[in-house]
Amino acid sequence: MVLALCLNSHAFSNETFTPYKAGEVPQNVTDLWKDYNPRSEVLEVKVIKEWKDGGIVTRYITFKAGTFKGADSRIAAYYSHPDNGQKNPAFVWCHGGGQRAERPRGVYFAKQGFATVDINWNGRPLEEGIEENTDWGNVDPTQGPRFYSKALREAFKSDFTADEHTIDPVLSPRNSNWFLLVVAAKRAITFLEQQPEVQADRIGFAGFSMGGQITSMAAIDPRLKAVAPFVGGTGYRHVDFPGGLVGTSERARYKGYVELYANTIDGSAYWPLVKCPVLFISSSNDFNAAFDRIYKAMALLKHHNAWRVSCNIHENHGPGPEQWALLIKWFNRYLKGLDQRIPETPPSTFEVNGQTATFTVTPEDCDNPLLGTEVYYSYNPNAYIRFWNRADAVKVGDSQRVDLAIHKNLPVYVFALCRYALGNEMETLQGVTKTITLNSLEHSIIPENVDLAELAKLKDPQLVFEDFDHGLKDWAVREGGRSITTYKFQSPEFDFSNNKKLLFRINPGGRKLSLLLGVDSRFLGKGLDLGNFFLSRSIEGDGPQDVVIDRHDFKSKDSKELEWSRITRFHLSIMDVTTKEKVALTSKEGLSVLKKISLVD
């Protein structure tokens, strides 16, 4: 018995962290991390396999993240670098929820001149025939057994409560999975520092979704020279949107200790401490990086000029080629030291005069020629689902100006999306692009008392839901133009009474077609979500035909009844039944097929 106790005591003496007792738990970010040195423990790197192809070297590796609860935690990763005999700028890539490290991603970045380590924190299988993988040992910051075969819990644990697998036996931010994932991230930085192919003083960090959150927390590491969180990492995730939209934050997860969460784990506690340049990449309706929270987070940075925001419009959680191209230019600038001529955040002003607010943007026309400026506005405080109206801006000299009506007890939000030409076509991880986009600041007026019922007063019964006279400006395009989506059902300008029907005017052109519709009812708040609905309708013949669809025609897995006003995202595609191929709706042919969508009695 004595021997067993001694062995157990010796095992835990090598712990990376000494467990806290009641009264010892740090109450802020600085104290949470002040005693942790990610260089102090040996990495014990193991190379599992190596590939060499096309001037790129990739190694499947594992390294030690730390020792927790008496067992080592080891992280699998892909380490890729140019096979050029030189020291290269480098960055850590951190995948998102449900995802994994990917070898082709590291190869792509190496072709751009960067070394990367792509950490497989979620433990998903990587290579057929190779079983050695991430092994967290006696802790588990993964998303559970769907992804990690050695899972100790059924799902991701973000709360601070203690259990048999947490570092601390008391309520503590170190018991949140986020803490351990950032430890692994910091160890990945240490790994890059020690590689002979890496310039140790030119290291960055980027990550997608949950990886974006990890990026925001790792960004305080003084070894980093630039960071780029994708669709995650804003902060303020504990704050509901205005207008009593309960359930639009994660506040309930931290009941009883919201302040401790806000001061130790939330991104808003980290951004004031970040000293390196930040590129925040997202989508206008991202569920994980709410648009308004991005700007609140960037406002916390002490360096007010060395950051940019780039989003694609009418999209959720899916930045496009224009954003991915900007990532390369950002790291070219701040890791390689190349002059990329990245335009400044487009200067803008916002002035209120009585019941009118005037937004003016004056984008820089630089070495990357300005191709166009789009101004978007909304009165909906729910950033997840708001429909961004494209404003009819007036050109005044080099500026674009928009006058917006101010409505009692309603907020207003406005920003500009500016598109610039690249010198050459660029291949990205999401396709090819000749352009990049940058956002202006988002400006807003948020009254003390927001009354969502006031949105009903903005209805215009004369409006046609969609006549496509201006193309697909209100839609996001996917599948190479074969699928389109919109948040237009959240526009307050239309009458979405449940007695209405949708009329589609479609010209099959003698073909047999199938109209495919999908509906999301999510992120509404207040428990109003209905889930997902689907519908398909056959159309054939010559000449335009009207297809009328009732809300009851949509079906869901749980037999719920659809309500028009609770549609957040609407998906549309048309398939040629004979060829089994979807019609390219962005083409001239596609626009001749889909003519109009109306709301009718």
Cα 597 to Cα 70: distance, rounded to the nearest angstrom: 63
Q: What pLDDT shows up at residue 133? A: 98
> Over the stretch 540-559, which tens digit does the pLDDT of each residue have?
999 999 999 999 999 999 99
Q: What pLDDT shows up at residue 13? A: 57
CA torsion sign for 101, 105, 111, 114 is negative
- Does 367 have pLDDT greater than 90? no
Q: What pLDDT shows up at residue 368? A: 77
Q: Are 216 and 235 in contact (CB under 8 A)?
A: yes
The backbone torsions φ and ψ at residue 462, rounded to the nearest 5 degrees and listed phi first, read -85, -10
Q: What is the DSSP letter of 562?
A: P
Residues 6+ apart with CB under 8 A from 496: 489, 564, 565, 567, 599
The amino acid present at 50, given as its one-letter code, is E
> Over the stretch 178-201, which tens digit does the pLDDT of each residue have?
999 999 999 999 999 999 999 999
Residues 6+ apart with CB under 8 A from 31: none
Cα 569 to Cα 591: distance, rounded to the nearest angstrom: 21
Cα 569 to Cα 522: distance, rounded to the nearest angstrom: 8
Q: What pLDDT shows up at residue 140? A: 98
Mean residue pLDDT of the chain comes to 96
Question: What's the whole-number mean pLDDT along residues 558-562?
Answer: 95
> Over the stretch 232-279, which tens digit does the pLDDT of each residue have?
999 999 999 999 999 999 999 999 999 999 999 999 999 999 999 999
Measured from the Cβ of residue 338, the count of other Cβ atoms closer than 10 Å reads 13
Q: What pLDDT shows up at residue 276? A: 98
Q: What pLDDT shows up at residue 256? A: 98
Q: What is the DSSP letter of 333?
A: I
**H/E segment holding residue 29:** helix 29-33
> Over the stretch 378-437, which tens digit does the pLDDT of each residue have?
999 999 999 999 999 999 999 999 999 999 999 999 999 999 999 899 999 999 999 999
Strands (E), 54-197: 56-68, 71-82, 88-94, 115-119
Q: Are 468 and 596 in contact (CB under 8 A)?
A: yes
Cα separation values, 283 from 294, 407, 547, Å: 11, 27, 32
The backbone torsions φ and ψ at residue 78, rounded to the nearest 5 degrees and listed phi first, read -105, 125
The amino acid present at 397, given as its one-letter code, is G
Question: What's the whole-number mean pLDDT along residues 332-337?
Answer: 98
Strands (E), 161-216: 198-208
- Does 451 have pLDDT greater than 90? yes
At 11, list the tokens. 């095992």
Chain-centroid distance of CA 466 in Å reads 28
Cα 492 to Cα 455: distance, rounded to the nearest angstrom: 6
Chain-centroid distance of CA 62 in Å reads 27
> For residue 10, what pLDDT band results from cuts at 50, 70 and 90?
very low
The three-state secondary structure class of 229 is strand
Cα 22 to Cα 336: distance, rounded to the nearest angstrom: 47
- Does 338 have pLDDT greater than 50? yes
- Does 577 have pLDDT greater than 60? yes
Strand partners, 51: 58
Q: What pLDDT shows up at residue 12? A: 52
Residues 6+ apart with CB under 8 A from 340: 329, 330, 332, 333
Helix 210-218 vs helix 177-193: crossing angle, to nearest 10: 70
> For residue 5, what pLDDT band results from cuts at 50, 70 and 90?
very low
Residues 6+ apart with CB under 8 A from 592: 507, 509
Q: What pLDDT shows up at residue 9? A: 39
> Over the stretch 473-488, which tens digit does the pLDDT of each residue have?
999 999 999 999 999 9
Cα 394 to Cα 281: distance, rounded to the nearest angstrom: 28
The three-state secondary structure class of 362 is coil
Chain-centroid distance of CA 437 in Å reads 16
The three-state secondary structure class of 74 is strand
> Over the stretch 197-222, which tens digit does the pLDDT of each residue have?
999 999 999 999 999 999 999 999 99
| Side-chain-facing half-sphere of 403: CA atoms under 13 Å | 6
> Over the stretch 513-534, which tens digit does the pLDDT of each residue have?
999 999 999 999 999 999 999 9
Cα 509 to Cα 330: distance, rounded to the nearest angstrom: 47
Q: What pLDDT shows up at residue 591? A: 86
Question: What's the whole-number mean pLDDT along residues 40-56?
Answer: 98
- Does 305 have pLDDT greater than 80? no
**Cβ neighbourhood burial of 324 (10 Å; 0-12, 13-18, 19+):** buried
Q: Are 329 and 424 in contact (CB under 8 A)?
A: no
The three-state secondary structure class of 453 is helix
The three-state secondary structure class of 435 is strand
What would you report as the CA-atom Rg of the chain, rounded to the nearest whole angstrom? 26
- Does 508 have pLDDT greater than 80? yes
> Over the stretch 280-295, which tens digit does the pLDDT of each residue have?
999 999 999 999 999 9
Residues 6+ apart with CB under 8 A from 266: 235, 236, 237, 238
Which residue's structure tokens are 């601070």? Answer: 160
